[in-house]
Structure 1
């Protein structure tokens, strides 16, 4: 899914190597898979006020790929309360909350689903009891164990996911050649299955106005002629 764009030979500490810039190809599922779902969209029949989205860990690169899903959910249910379940850096959390794409986050991260993670599973169960029943639970994971545990720990009316051949979901769908599809569309297929068409433009990172004001003030204060910005946590 990567296409080489340009390369630069370089040397550091006497060692020669080559830096290569790659572009990710936006490989999508065939339209024949998801276009029929738009004809009679399932989401129009669902009364959704609360949504749980299990994302897992996320840096800036992951957020770029996942935000079309959150944009699609807000497009379908603008008044819904969206809770991100997983772990993200404070900068990512602030950006997502300030831009209005999520309303809350249950911070949890399990590196390996082993007996040592039992205390975290207990937190899941307690949080699930505190939250009560959600209208919609979206599971973006692809592994059997976390899908099973979330089914046991959280209460929900409807669920959509693709792990274990959608064994834990209300709706089943085929995923031809999933390994060839870009991560963005692997996640977006969950919204499409509900009949929600992707927003335009697809990747739309909303920058809060106060962020723009802070950046503008810094620029004016220090009077940079040129600047290079390096954003942490970008993959």
Structure 2
């Protein structure tokens, strides 16, 4: 789904300039990953509701995935990582609340009032204002799973498979899909995927702004030094503005 332009999101981006957390690979001090055998899709009923809410916002064009990722990052790095230990969906809930306020669907006062009701045990579950037509649900699921190409009209790629590239040593302001652990590292282009939605522009509400996307391979030891396994190769999808010729 194309990312519409949104002045509200663009203004919000200006107010929250940062090099947000995107990928915690290579970072230490956060403890081990907890593994649960036969883990359920949702640990709590509210998690499924949060997923449904953000999916609804996406289908209505109020939000889109890059935008929701950016709003999740507004939690700040410490909260972002700590909340993973509690529930992944706290990220989604935080994003949904911020998006609803940013797009003026609810006010910040209304959001705070509802949170206070819950904290004080005064919240009573409301019945839906209308029943959903099962046909609407089927239509939404079909839209989510409809096969479609992600390639959009845009500039020709500057690199081709086999080219060596260096990831820029950068600290962008705002949302980015460029992990910190590959910045200023040299890799090799494996696949050119063509122009696709550029996350930096999309998350800021500035439209699709398609840029060529590549899969780039990195030797493990080029990223992690002697701690890396010499046999391992890491593949990362990176947009052209992140890259220069090596």
Bin of the TM-score, shorter chain as denominator length: under 0.3
Q: TM-score, normalising length from structure 1?
A: 0.24
Q: TM-score, normalising length from structure 2?
A: 0.24
Which is strand-richer, 1 or 2? 1
